[in-house]
Amino acid sequence: MSALIKIPIDTGPLVALFDGSDRYHGDSLNFIKNLKSPLCTTLPVVTETVFMLDFSNQAQCDFLSWIHQGGLDIIELKENDFGRIAELMKKYSSLPMDFADASLVVACEKLRTKDIATLDSDFRIYRYDGKTRFNNLFKI
């Protein structure tokens, strides 16, 4: 039996999942319910998500509790990953690429996956391993 590949998820679908007024709330809920693979993200994405849920302490706590209950895994960033993150942020500075997005690209490289779940159109421009397009599994 093969192990399921973890799917890195970006801030947008996570915020939508915990914000019932978000226009992508239903799409995010359906995506999570129908996904067969486990989700993962990085601490910068968690931080960005909590910041964007600042309209509601309850939404922030629900999100953090969901992580605690196994809603998603956190991909650990090591010291040497920050050089790669800086390299990516410089390469895509015209967009600009933020810390959370760069950390997700690094997570994908660590996991050896081009699959991602995002609402961010910049992932059409970013490249996995410098040359391969990302495959956005969050279809809207």
Does residue 33 surpass a pLDDT of 80?
yes
Q: Return the higher-pLDDT residue of 49 and 128.
A: 49
Does residue 139 surpass a pLDDT of 90?
no
> For the residues 57-80, what does the mean pLDDT come to?
97
pLDDT, position 1 = 41
CATH pick for 7-132 out of 2.20.25.160, 1.10.3260.10, 3.40.50.1010, 3.30.200.20 = 3.40.50.1010
What is the residue-averaged pLDDT of the chain?
95
Within a 13 Å sphere around the CA of 32, how many CA atoms are in the beta-carbon half? Answer: 20
pLDDT, position 130 = 85
> For the residues 58-65, what does the mean pLDDT come to?
98
